[in-house]
């Protein structure tokens, strides 16, 4: 869902500004049957901001209560901070929305984390759009399918209104795309409700021991092994000992995650009904918003269809160009705007074509006299066409 509207590859990492600006329930709204990731640094900054009275204290305290008390992750987070073998821990379960929480030492890139501006953008896409008053007045006053403009001011008004309606169309279509994606997510969450919460991710396989190494360096040398091969044997055992230590540390974290999963499964039996009910409520609201947006879209499209400008030129940038022609006195009616626009577009195409020819000639044979003459002849022909 986020991929279409937020230009970030990772959409599960949350930065400090998002946690300060929104309470857990407000952000979890976007992560039904999904997961979020919070860095240890962000968690520690929450405590620092709370102690110093910075930011939205209500939101900050709500996040700290969630992490420290509700999911009981406080001691684990300080353990993660001190551990040289762990990079992340989780999942922890937030039952009401079926959301999993993971914690990491740091994000690969701070720019990847979603911030308060990203969620403000998503929040705006949920807001109800209303019909512009100017468009509403114009739509009700205009009874005929098309009305011939009486003077330049009326033409400018018609073009301006048409351009504004096209802009509103793009905005409405963006909202519709977003709400449809959100609707799909809520329907998928209802289907997944029978299999929630999700199990912890399985551990990697246990590291394998190096094959039959001699026990000491002397034994290696006695078997005529080279010193480099002896060093490789020692290194392989050193790597194995480190990897097996990491494995057992992670295995303990996995066991704790399994315990949390069992508790979440027991709690889910009581939460499942409310979760599905909330999803259905959201679906009902989303369908209502979509119906309103489609009605609004049809109203703007009707205004556009009644414009005196030919459909081929009902493009916002073209219409704004027409408006400039009229306001600067270069044209007095729509037909003059069209003629002037087509003429300028023709010369733009000719100029671009000439530049392409000149570049081709330059890169092929910059010192060839015949090609130079051909280039000059091309320029003369274009000049003659202009005359």
Mean per-residue pLDDT pooled into runs of 10, the chain (387 residues) = 73 94 96 95 96 95 97 94 92 95 84 89 91 75 55 89 93 94 95 92 85 56 59 79 90 94 94 96 96 94 87 92 92 91 84 72 59 64 57
What is the distance between the alpha carbons of residues 46 and 55, in angstroms, rounded to a whole number?
10
What is the distance between the alpha carbons of residues 47 and 334, in angstroms, rounded to a whole number?
64
Q: In degrees, to the nearest 5, what angle opens at C-alpha 384 toward C-alphas 383 and 387?
A: 90
pLDDT of residue 112: 79
pLDDT of residue 181: 93
pLDDT of residue 372: 60
Q: What number of CA atoms fall less than 13 Å from residue 328's CA on the CB side? A: 10
pLDDT of residue 236: 83
pLDDT of residue 356: 74
Reported pTM: 0.78
List the structure tokens of 117: 């501006």
pLDDT in tens, 45-87: 999 999 999 999 999 999 999 999 999 999 999 999 999 899 9
Q: What number of CA atoms fall less than 13 Å from residue 121's CA on the CB side? A: 15
**Cis peptide leading into 91, omega within 30 of 0?**
yes
pLDDT of residue 145: 47
Contact at 8 Å (CB) between 134 and 121? no
List the structure tokens of 24: 């857990």
Contact at 8 Å (CB) between 103 and 38? yes
pLDDT of residue 286: 96
DSSP string, 362-376: HHH-TT-HHHHHHHH
Domain definitions of the chain by residue range? 8-107+116-124, 125-317, 333-386
Count Cβ neighbours within 10 Å for each residue of 164-174 and write b for 16 or more, e otherwise.
bbbebbebbee
What is the distance between the alpha carbons of residues 91 and 105, in angstroms, rounded to a whole number?
15
Beta bridge partners of 38: 103
Average pLDDT, the chain: 85
Whose tokens are 């091969």? That residue is 229
pLDDT of residue 284: 97
pLDDT of residue 26: 96
pLDDT of residue 10: 81
């Amino acid at each position: 869902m986020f991929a279409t509207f937020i230009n970030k590859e990772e959409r599960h990492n949350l930065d400090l500004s998002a946690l300060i600006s929104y309470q857990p329930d407000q952000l979890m709204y976007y992560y039904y049957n999904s997961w979020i990731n919070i860095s240890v640094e962000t968690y520690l900054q929450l405590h620092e901001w709370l102690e110093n009275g910075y930011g939205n204290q209500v939101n900050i305290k709500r996040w700290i209560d969630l992490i420290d008390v509700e999911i009981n992750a406080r001691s684990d987070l300080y353990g993660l901070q001190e551990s040289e073998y762990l990079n992340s821990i989780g999942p922890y379960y937030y039952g009401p929305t079926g959301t999993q929480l993971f914690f990491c030492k740091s994000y690969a890139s701070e720019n990847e984390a979603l911030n308060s501006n990203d969620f403000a953008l998503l929040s705006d896409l949920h807001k109800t759009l209303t019909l512009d008053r100017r468009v509403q007045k114009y739509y009700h006053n205009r009874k005929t399918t098309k009305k011939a403009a009486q003077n330049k001011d009326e033409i400018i008004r018609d073009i301006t209104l048409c351009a504004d309606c096209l802009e509103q169309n793009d905005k409405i279509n963006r909202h519709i795309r977003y709400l449809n994606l959100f609707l799909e997510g809520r329907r998928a969450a209802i289907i997944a409700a029978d299999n929630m919460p999700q199990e912890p991710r399985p551990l990697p396989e246990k590291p394998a021991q190096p094959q039959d190494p001699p026990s000491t360096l002397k034994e290696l040398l006695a078997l005529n092994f080279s010193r480099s091969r002896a060093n490789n044997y020692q290194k392989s055992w050193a790597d194995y000992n480190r990897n097996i230590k990491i494995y057992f540390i992670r295995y303990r974290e996995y066991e704790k995650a399994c315990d949390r999963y069992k508790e979440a499964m027991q709690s889910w039996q009581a939460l499942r009904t409310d979760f599905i009910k909330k999803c259905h409520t959201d679906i009902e609201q989303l369908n209502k918003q979509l119906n309103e947006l489609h009605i609004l879209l049809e109203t703007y499209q009707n205004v556009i269809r009644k414009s005196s400008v030919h459909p081929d030129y009902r493009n916002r940038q073209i219409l704004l160009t027409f408006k400039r022609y009229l306001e600067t006195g270069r044209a007095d009616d729509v037909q003059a705007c069209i003629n002037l626009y087509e003429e300028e577009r023709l010369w733009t195409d000719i100029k671009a074509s000439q530049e392409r020819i000149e570049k081709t000639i330059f890169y092929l044979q910059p010192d060839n006299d015949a090609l130079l003459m051909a280039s000059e002849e091309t320029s003369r022909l274009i000049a003659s066409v202009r005359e």
